[in-house]
C-alpha cells in the first residue's frame, strides 16, 4: 500500500480510505469484520465512518460494528487512523429533539461521547464536520473542538461538504483564535463530477488540507454499468443523483464513450476511476465503500495502476473539467 501525509499534519495515511457506510445496512457484522481485516492486512489504515451511518432506526450501528471489531484486539485500534463525523440528528426518526444535531457546542460534546462509546475507544483521530452549520458561530464550534482536543478525545479536525469560502472562514477563525484548524476536506469529486476543482480543492491546497473524495464511482456510474447491462449482470445500484442518470441520452453516451475507451486499453472502469483520482493534485485518497471482499480487492488494484498520458487526455475529453481558477469562473 502507498502512503501519504494527511495535509499539513505529520499523520501518514493510506492512499485508499476504507469507507464503512455499507456496514450494517448492506453488510452484516461478520462480513464487515472480514472486510476490515482484509483492508488492514492490505495496509489500509484510514477508516472513515459517521455517527449517523446505519441510518433510520439503526443510526450508530456502523460505529458499533467498528467498535466490536476493535474489541477483538490484535492492535487493531492502534493500527487504524479512525475518522468519524458529526452533524446529523441522532434522535429516532420522527422523534428528533432540538440540540441533538448540527454543530452547537452542546451537540458536539454529546456526539463525541456517544461515538466514543459505540466505537469502544478513548479517542477519535480525525473528527469531521459532516456538513456546514449556518446557524452556529464558528467561534463556538472551535471552542468546543479545542476543549475536546485538550481532553485528548480528538486529535485532528476535518470538514465534509464545505465550499471553498467556508474552508477559508473556518481556518482564518481558527488562526485568529490560535488553533490548528481544519486538516482535511471530504468532498464529492470524481471523473463525472469535477466542480470541486473550481474552488474547494484550491482552497484545501492553500490551507494545507488533505482532500478525501467521496463517491469516487459517482454512485456506480463509473463502475462499468453499461457493460454489466450488456452482460446481463447486476450493476452496482445507483441512488440519489445517479438513479436516473443513464436515462439521460447525453449521460449514457458519455458513459458509453468512457467504457469503450477502457475496453480499448483493457482496463477496468472502477479501477480507472480510482486511479484517476489518485493522480489528481491535492488528493490524499478516495473513499471506497466495499460491500464485499471482492470489491475491496478491485479497489486495491487501482493503487498500483498508472494511467498513461493517452488515457488521461482521453478521459479529459470525455469528462472535461471546469478548468483552472479563476479562469473557470469566467463567462
With contact defined as beta carbons under 8 Å apart, do 86 and 112 qualify? yes
Name the helix (H) or strand (E) containing 81: strand 81-86
d(CA 271, CA 131): 28
Active site residue 53: yes
User: Which residue's entry shows cell 493510506?
Assistant: 14
Query: Which residue out of 53, 127, 207, 258 is catalytically annotated?
Result: 53
Question: Which cell numbers in the block locate residue 144?
Answer: 468546543
d(CA 244, CA 27): 25
With contact defined as beta carbons under 8 Å apart, do 83 and 125 qualify? yes
How far apart are the two ends of the chain, measured CA to CA in Å?
A: 43
- DSSP for 118-162, please give it: HHT-S-EEEEEE-S--SSS-HHHHHHHHHHHHHTTSEEEEEEES-
With contact defined as beta carbons under 8 Å apart, do 204 and 183 qualify? no
Longest dimension (CA), the chain: 58
With contact defined as beta carbons under 8 Å apart, do 60 and 99 qualify? no
Residues with catalytic function: 53
Amino acid at each position: 500500500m502507498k502512503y501519504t501525509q494527511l495535509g499539513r499534519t505529520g499523520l501518514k495515511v493510506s492512499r485508499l480510505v476504507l469507507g464503512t457506510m455499507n456496514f450494517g445496512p448492506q453488510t452484516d457484522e461478520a462480513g464487515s469484520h472480514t472486510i476490515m481485516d482484509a483492508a488492514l492486512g492490505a495496509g489500509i489504515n484510514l477508516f472513515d465512518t459517521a455517527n449517523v451511518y446505519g441510518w433510520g432506526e439503526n443510526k450508530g450501528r456502523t460505529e458499533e460494528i467498528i467498535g466490536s471489531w476493535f474489541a477483538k484486539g490484535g492492535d487493531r485500534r492502534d493500527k487504524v487512523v479512525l475518522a468519524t463525523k458529526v452533524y446529523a440528528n441522532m434522535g429516532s426518526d420522527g422523534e428528533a429533539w432540538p440540540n441533538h444535531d448540527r454543530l452547537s457546542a452542546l451537540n458536539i460534546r454529546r456526539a463525541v461521547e456517544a461515538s466514543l462509546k459505540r466505537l469502544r475507544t478513548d479517542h477519535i483521530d480525525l473528527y469531521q464536520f459532516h456538513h456546514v452549520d449556518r446557524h452556529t458561530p464558528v467561534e463556538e464550534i472551535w471552542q468546543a473542538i479545542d476543549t475536546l482536543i485538550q481532553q485528548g478525545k480528538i486529535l485532528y479536525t476535518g470538514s465534509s461538504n464545505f465550499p471553498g469560502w467556508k474552508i477559508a472562514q473556518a481556518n482564518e477563525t481558527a488562526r485568529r483564535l490560535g488553533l490548528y484548524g481544519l486538516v482535511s476536506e471530504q468532498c464529492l469529486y470524481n471523473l463525472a463530477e469535477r466542480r470541486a476543482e473550481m474552488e474547494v480543492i484550491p482552497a484545501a491546497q492553500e490551507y494545507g488540507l488533505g482532500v478525501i473524495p467521496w463517491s469516487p464511482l459517482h454512485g456506480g456510474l463509473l463502475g462499468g454499468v453499461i457493460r454489466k447491462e450488456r452482460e446481463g449482470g447486476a450493476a452496482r445500484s445507483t441512488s440519489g443523483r445517479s438513479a436516473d442518470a443513464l436515462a439521460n441520452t447525453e449521460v449514457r453516451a458519455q458513459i458509453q464513450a468512457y467504457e469503450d475507451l477502457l475496453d480499448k486499453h483493457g482496463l477496468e472502469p472502477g479501477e480507472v476511476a480510482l486511479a484517476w483520482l489518485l493522480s489528481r493534485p491535492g488528493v490524499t485518497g478516495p473513499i471506497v465503500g466495499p460491500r464485499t471482499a471482492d470489491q475491496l480487492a478491485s479497489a486495491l488494484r487501482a493503487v498500483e495502476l498508472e494511467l498513461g498520458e493517452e488515457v488521461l487526455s482521453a478521459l479529459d475529453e470525455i469528462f472535461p473539467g471546469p478548468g483552472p481558477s479563476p479562469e473557470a469562473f469566467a463567462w
